[in-house]
Structure 1
Amino acid sequence: MNVLILGGGGREHAMAWKISQSSNCDQLYLAPGNAGTETVGRNLDGIGSDFEMIKKAVLDNNIDLVIVGPEAPLVDGIVDFFLGDKDLQDVNILGPDKKAAQLEGSKSFAKSFMEKYEIPTAQYLEVGPSNLEEGYAFLDKMKPPYVLKADGLAAGKGVLILDDIAEARKELGLMLKGKFGDASEKVVIEEFLDGIEFSVFALVDGKDFIILPEAKDYKRIGEGDTGLNTGGMGSVSPVPFYDSVLKEKVQSQIIEPTVKGIIEEKMLYRGFIFFGLINVDGEPKVIEYNCRMGDPETQSVFVRLENDLLEVCDKASRGELEGMESRFSPDTVCTIVAVSGGYPGGYEKGKKIDGLDNIEELVFHAGTKRSGEEIQTNGGRVLAVTAKGKTIDEARNSALREIEKIKFEGINYRRDIGVDLL
């Protein structure tokens, strides 16, 4: 089977690493990929997000299955494009259609979906220019901190958590005036939920699903969960507090009603669902849906997964998951992300990366590129070291030991990934 993975981050490298191990994989391509993915597949440069260029690459390389890594092409309707093109009728694609991708692409769509199907989540109000005064009144009734979310995709930067009511009212107005561009034409005000966040993943074929290993990721740039939010500084799987009681609640109260809602709303959803959850005194609630795998959770989750990833992805794309079960290692996996100096603010690219040849654990590239014989930084989140152990401490110490061997100008990473779970 010839496979094309769309994307070029750490998530896609981890996916490619796992899929390349399948006996069913003949040729593996990535578009665009990065300096790490070229070790497990062939990178196709210069395709970008243009659907016609992706179509040409699919036909030129006799692709049987396309796996969509990032959210943007899904929200833009790439699955609908494939299904509507007669030349692509024999090509399977893994990902939700445009309507279903609104579970990630629109916060208000997701919240109304959760409300309709009685899926536990925070209280909320959708606000636009026409009901701004209602938004102010809703804020005035709430207790701090105040949560404001841009309705659309904002590259992980569209959420504000504020302690001061005057600042919250001011920021609500600024968001509606375009602080996050088109993404904040509408804003969702949410009740703040106090608890421990974690992530659960399912692979859905439109009607049946399998549940993948859970993970906990770390968003803040600074140790002790301080500083600005990032795309993710590390992850751990499994999560110690995710016991059998909490698992049952997540499946019966969240996963099953979500899949039921997808079916009833006549969405075409064949792909991964990321449930961003919070444990509030033993009760799980949904913070957000993502319509794809997370990053850097994927790096930890796929290292634990024992299934043939290509087999389950192919079956999901065909609507044939019935009877399948996921299998995963009981070991703990820890992923630590190395980022560019200045990230998540301004940073420079093109810094030479040294020490990669000496690493004894897995390295998943994200923002990297090859320049001649050098591998250089090419993004904010540069790469991640992922290590397995019998305990969190063992996995964490192994990842730390190896990431310390990697050098580039301005390198920064957290040394406390997983410490809060010990």
Structure 2
Amino acid sequence: MKSEIDHTVYLNAYDLFPELASSLLHFIETLHRALIEKGVKQVFFLSREGQPLMRMFEMYQARVGGQITTHYLEVSRRSTLLPSLAPLTEEKFETLFRQYRRISLLEFLSSLGLQAQTRSIAQALGLPEGNEALREEDFPTSLTFTTLKTLPQFQQLYESQRATRRRAFIAYLSELSGGTLPDRLVIVDVGWKGTIQDNLYALLCCDDGAPVKSITGYYLGLVAHGAAGPCNDKHGLLFSGVDSRSPGFSVFNENRALFEVVLAADHGSIVSYEIDELGRGRAVRGQFEEGEMLAAEVFPVLRNVFAHYQRLVNELPVGQLGAGKPFKAVVRSHARMVFKPTSRERAWFSSVFHVENYGVFERSGFSTLTKRPGIAARLRFMLSLLCRRDVGVLGFWPWNTLRERGGFVAATAYAIIRRLQN
């Protein structure tokens, strides 16, 4: 009996952000309806957040009906970058450099999935040992990068791996699709900019005789259009800030990291693609650096979110589409999590971290202040914030930063303003 009681207490301790289930169900409902309206027969959920999203979609489809085939496509910004690029003489690396400019040679090569050759390339460039890890203030204009592009060793490595990984990815996607690539690739991911979709479009749709004609991406949210176009369209289904802000944007956009953290997969990031001994394309997974933390802190929360989600799905009329909560009710319930979280939810969020596997390769923590600032410190912070007029300085979760550094009144005022913007 004691072990059962302890188990119940353990589960309740991780019953955090339960309203995520309602937000995710609304997204899945909207996604399912869009796929049916477009006559989509198969849809590809992108790793890693796509792993729990695909499971949720399958749970919903089993309840309301449908014959859409789901696939789990193992991709990352890193794994899809190199095979999507042009020949070196034509390539500007804009996809990488538009977001990351202060990086090192090691980080540049790692973003291409070529980190194993870093030391030999650094030696060929004449760099002292260890200098390959030093960040350049503006790597794209640095002497290191200029010299790298003229280095025969790098030129040969770049072109050979670009072609090899492109062939391997196409073979992998073809096998996943049942042997034939779809004319239109329909993908689902958590979102924000759709960088992976842009890579896939360049990889699959832009060459003469391209195997795929168009790509459509459906996302929880979009905040930028990236390289979207007529044959590379993107849709933010829960919220979107592209062109104009959708209803509820200020609420759902308040803590996007929460979606990324909770929607965790049980494997590491994808680093590249290769042809195996049987001639099949496969994804190569990298080290699962955050595995221990996810098992201890995130998966228990995700299991509870799934339990709430399953309950909501079970309440839906069998075979009836669009019978979930009204959208305004979903916005209100989501606002509770981001503008009025419990102390346990705030503490949990500060205990987890995110590993960046592209660009800067850093571990991002969400830790809170260990000591409450005094009145003078809070006033200085608010004055600084008002002078800058930039909410971006407030980090992953602006309301929480204001609550810690500016105090209860500042956070409450911010929450009221954000809610009025919807």
Common topology (TM > 0.5)? no
Q: How high is the TM-score relative to the length of structure 1?
A: 0.26
Higher helix share: 2
Higher strand share: 1
Asked which structure has the greater RCO (Cα within 8 Å, sep 6+), the reply is 2
